[in-house]
């Protein structure tokens, strides 16, 4: 895991302990939500003026090469409980809330285990990275997104999502059986990734984004840049909220 994270920035988790029926139920309610009439989905529409990312919306924009972004999505916080706004959790289909709450419990455990493995791989104590997030489950914010990529008759003209790196510390991704995620490494299509669409099949994915609280200050871990080990980048400590603002607006970090 550590080697893959270092070399590729991405890895497949196996023997992770997340029950198959929990994943299947998460996928069922996600598919059924996007099969609802448009007016029902619009009840949870994202409000761009609010500055919030939660809610239902469409990604309609131009990517590099003038390829149109072709996707819909639903986005809401699942942890910690104090940050959850159930107003963005659909009432339909049946079981949506129960499926997401059950899956969230597994994600809280899995993210702790991933952080422990990565901490050990960096030569730190197992709890070091979790502590750097503020310690405990309430220090980690988990945001669930459901991506819906409908089939496109001319897939070469569109992307499900343009090339990008995620804003969060790391992402736990569940996908369906329709391929589409492409990873770039050494100039080839890792951390820089994009999403393509299919000509004939709908593609969906369920990423969980893991990051610290907005007010938490992020910076290189002091144990990793101490003494004779210089910082790899000239990165200035800032709140995670300011970090996101700079990244979204392509400002110097």
Average pLDDT of span 33-62: 84
Return the percentage of the chain with pLDDT > 70, whole number.
Answer: 82
Residue 166 annotated as catalytic: yes
Q: What angle do CA 149, 180, 117 make, to 5 degrees?
A: 110
CA distance 237 to 240: 9
Per-residue pLDDT reduced to its tens digit, 66-94: 556 667 899 999 999 999 999 999 999 99
Average pLDDT over the chain reads 84
> Which entry of 41, 76, 106, 145 is annotated as an active-site residue?
145
Q: Is the pLDDT of residue 30 over 60?
A: yes
Q: Which residues contact 50 (CB under 8 A, 6 or more apart)?
A: none
Phi, then psi, of 48 in degrees rounded to 5:
-60, -30
> Which entry of 41, 76, 106, 193 is annotated as an active-site residue?
193
Choice among 68-72, 161-165, 239-243 with the minimum mean pLDDT: 161-165
Average pLDDT of span 198-224: 86
Query: Which of 53, 33, 29, 49 lies closest to 41, judged by CA?
Result: 33
Choice among 16-30, 183-197, 223-237 with the minimum mean pLDDT: 183-197
Phi, then psi, of 131 in degrees rounded to 5:
-65, -35
Q: Give the length of the chain.
A: 253
Q: Please tell me the predicted confidence (pLDDT) of residue 160.
A: 44
- In the block, which residue shows the tokens 């669930």? 144
Residue 176 annotated as catalytic: no
Per-residue pLDDT reduced to its tens digit, 83-129: 999 999 999 999 999 999 999 999 999 999 999 999 999 999 999 99
Average pLDDT of span 46-74: 73
> Which entry of 166, 201, 221, 242 is annotated as an active-site residue?
166
Q: Is the pLDDT of residue 136 over 90?
A: no
> Which entry of 16, 52, 86, 164 is annotated as an active-site residue?
164
Maximum CA pair distance of the chain? Answer: 60
pTM of the model: 0.85
Q: Which domains does the chain have, with CATH numbers?
A: 2-213 (2.60.120.330), 214-253 (no CATH)
CA distance 212 to 196: 29
Residue 164 annotated as catalytic: yes
Q: Is the pLDDT of residue 60 over 60?
A: no
Per-residue confidence band for 193, with pLDDT thresholds at 50, 70 and 90: very low
Average pLDDT of span 131-160: 76
């Amino acid at each position: 895991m550590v080697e893959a994270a270092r070399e590729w920035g991405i890895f497949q988790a196996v023997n992770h302990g997340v029950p198959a029926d929990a994943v299947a139920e998460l996928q069922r309610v996600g598919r059924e939500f996007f099969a609802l009439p448009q007016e029902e989905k619009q009840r949870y529409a994202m409000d761009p003026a609010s500055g919030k990312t939660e809610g239902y919306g469409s990604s309609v924009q131009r990517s590099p090469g003038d390829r149109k972004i072709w996707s819909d999505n639903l986005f809401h916080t699942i942890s910690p409980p104090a940050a959850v706004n159930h107003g963005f959790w659909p009432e339909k289909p049946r079981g949506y809330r129960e499926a997401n709450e059950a899956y969230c419990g597994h994600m809280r455990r899995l993210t702790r285990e991933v952080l422990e493995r990565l901490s050990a791989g960096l030569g730190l104590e197992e709890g070091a990275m979790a502590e750097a997030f503020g310690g405990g489950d309430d220090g980690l914010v988990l945001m669930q997104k459901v991506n819906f990529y409908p089939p496109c008759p001319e897939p070469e003209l569109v992307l499900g999502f343009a090339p990008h790196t995620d804003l969060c510390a790391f992402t736990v991704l569940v996908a369906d059986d329709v391929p589409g995620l492409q990873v770039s490494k050494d100039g080839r299509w890792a951390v820089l990734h994009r999403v393509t669409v299919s000509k004939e099949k709908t593609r969906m994915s369920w990423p969980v984004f893991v990051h610290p609280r907005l007010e938490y200050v992020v910076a290189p871990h002091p144990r990793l840049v101490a003494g004779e080990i210089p910082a790899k980048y000239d990165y200035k400590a800032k709140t995670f909220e300011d970090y996101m603002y700079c990244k979204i607006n392509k400002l110097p970090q």
